[in-house]
A and B are shown apart, each in its own frame.
Chain A
């Protein structure tokens, strides 16, 4: 086991620093994500207030009611009633939406030729469309009351409309495991893909470059050990390294998310990340066949960041464009993240819930085998070319 021992010595001497750097980076980012509560899920919703200015020329009960309603749901911005000021305010984004209620608006509310309110907005603003919808909703409801009950005052109509449209619906996702740890684990394991690829290319790739050095290789082939035994020792060394690194990061996942080990899906995260470790190892093998001492770091960064970004390690896959999602099927990290997301959504373990997970894991394994096969073919071709 002379080759394995040399492998171990080189790792201990030269790559502990790489491991510490990546671990510190990973721990730092994990803590940051956890403490900032940045659970990036595609169903997260946050109410935002639009900056709206109301020019009330009518000053009647209906106009005042509408103005109060708008100011209640939006962030009011006061403006002078002249066109120049309005255009400036929109241009400099002091306000996003300007509503002008014309004189005689209430009077003409019942007639067919009623004075309509005019609006100005920032071009292509989604928020202004949202504001228009809310104003329409108010006025439509008010008109309904005014038509049905002509005897009641506009003050009463305003009360009734407000009561109607301020009703809120609370939505909860019952199909989720709905535990606090699930999304955190998912985020952690998704991010792990970047760290494992970057770390393995940096460590395994560089070690393989050392052992693939032509002089060292030829010198080893002169010794009374078979090429297969030599390669087995290297593979064993790499697998040991990958296993230890993986084990540390998996253990860390359950240290920072205490109590999550017993949750449904936790073991599936572990299995999926183990397959990821094998996949990253085979990517590193492949990179080591064509990279050089100077190029391995830039190549490693491109591959790790590229695959992780396009695979959805940093942003939810739902936010990726359709094209990226289609292209993503050729990216093994995409499948890894997809499996993680699927694990995060399951409520119970059954054949139907496991099927997509197993499928995704098999796809990753297929990628791993393919990368390894290409690496072995390249190595063999080089050996023949040399002879």
Chain B
């Protein structure tokens, strides 16, 4: 086990930021921490890194207790903060060299690692630039380079794609996959469920400081009663049709919004044939029909009763 969080409680006055948090992260996985803003993701990360004192619980990293003075553990951790943490007064190269130098004393080795990090985030053409001159996406890439240059075994990325354009976001996500392929264990926090779905092998969904679901994507989705969703673009649907669709076996819910009919099924049941037959039999005109598997947002919605982005 690379990270083991056991019964972690963190309070800010009366507010419970982390409520008996239990998470285990295995070696070589990309573990996602998903939750809306204020759910406790960053607090959890800060506790893992010993940047915050916590009220109760225990955190182990690499099988050893994590403390502010656990320097051998810190040596193997790379951190990419939510807010970009670089010196405005130093160039791209100098920034990466500075943060790498906090971990690697050997100058020659450090030089190699800095070069590798620059190539990894594709900032070769910007090494002499000051952070102010970089775009949002490039700045995020610099932030990542500063966090991973020393080749850590565990990399923690706290919402690294916030306010980044789609192209840079894809670059960043691809880079994280490559880091994982090279052997690093990744903890990735985000409130973008698409990123977590795309990237993570296992995940935990947080809400109000509690883990409300954890496991692989399939395991998490299997926790809810919702199965596939059938979506139909339709133009002459009547209220009586909706009522009849509701009566079809395994249909949980039917919703019509601006000519888009969404039919939710029970988990493990397939109704696509029944639904298409119903449409054909009742002469309902339609544009397109497709089925969707439940998303993490559906999981969050079913467990908490609210959307992830609420």
Do A and B belong to a common assembly? yes
**Which residues, 346 to 387 on A, are CB-close (under 8 Å) to B?**
386-387
Say whether B72 contacts A10, CB under 8 Å.
Answer: no
Q: Is A326 an interface residue (CB 8 A)?
A: no
Q: Check B90 against A218 for contact (C-beta < 8 Å).
A: no
How many A-B residue pairs have C-beta atoms within 8 angstroms? Tell me: 65
Partner of A218, one of B51, B75, B86: B51
* Inter-chain contact B99/A224, CB cutoff 8 Å: no
Interface flag for A329 (CB, 8 Å):
no
CB closest chain-A residue, reference B71: A224
With CB as the reference atom, state the residue of chain B lying closest to A227. Answer: B68
Task: Decide: A10 and B87 in contact? CB cutoff 8 A.
Answer: yes
How far, in Å, is B41 (CB) from chain A's closest CB?
Answer: 15
Q: Which residues of B contact A6 (CB under 8 A)?
A: 87, 90, 94, 98
Q: Is A47's CB within 8 Å of the partner chain B?
A: no
Instruction: Kindly identify which residue among B51, B71, B74, B94 contacts A9, using a CB–CB cutoff of 8 Å.
Output: B94
Determine which residue in A2, A213, A216, A227 has the highest number of CB atoms from chain B within 10 A of its CB, and name it.
Answer: A2
Question: Any chain B CB within 8 A of the CB of A23?
Answer: no
Q: Using Cβ atoms and an 8 Å threshold, which residues of chain B touch A386?
A: 52
Q: Name which of B77-85, B209-217, B234-242 contacts chain A.
A: B77-85
- Cβ-defined contact, B49 with A222, below 8 A: yes
Tell me whether A20 is interfacial, beta carbon within 8 Å: no
Interface of A is mostly: helix
Let me know if A215 and B79 touch, CB within 8 A. Answer: no
* Contact status A215-B87, CB under 8 Å: no
Is the CB–CB distance between B79 and A219 below 8 Å? yes
Which residues does chain A contribute within 8 Å of B88, judged by CB atoms? 210
Q: Which residue of A lies closest to B77 (CB)?
A: A222
How many residues on B have C-beta within 8 angstroms of the other chain's C-beta atoms?
29
- Whether A225 is near chain B, meaning CB under 8 Å from some CB there, is yes
Flag if A210 contacts B53 (CB, 8 Å): no
Contact A2 B101 (CB under 8 A): yes
The answer, among A5, A10, A218, A226, for a CB contact under 8 Å with B69, is A226
Q: Which residues of A contact B46 (CB under 8 A)?
A: 218
Tell me, rounded to whole Å, the shortest Cβ–Cβ distance linking A176 to chain B: 49
Complex contacts, A215 vs chain B, CB 8 Å: 81, 83-85
Which single member of B51, B84, B99 contacts A221 (CB below 8 Å)? B51
Which A residues from 7 to 66 make CB contacts under 8 A with B?
9-10, 13-14
In the complex, whether B126 has a CB less than 8 A from a CB of chain A is no
Residues on B with beta carbons closer than 8 Å to the beta carbon of A223 = 74, 99, 102-103
- The interface centre, meaning the residue of A9, A216, A222, A386 with most chain B CB atoms within 10 A of its CB, is A222
CB distance from A211 to the nearest CB of B (A): 9
User: CB-CB < 8 A to B98: which residues of A?
Assistant: 2, 5-6
The answer on a CB contact under 8 Å between A226 and B102 is: no
Q: A219-B146, A387-B52 are in contact. List 17 more A-B contacts (CB 8 A).
A: A5-B98, A6-B98, A9-B94, A10-B89, A13-B89, A215-B84, A216-B85, A216-B87, A219-B79, A219-B85, A221-B51, A222-B49, A222-B77, A222-B79, A223-B102, A224-B74, A226-B71
5 A-B pairs (CB sep. < 8 Å): A213-B85, A216-B86, A222-B74, A224-B75, A387-B53
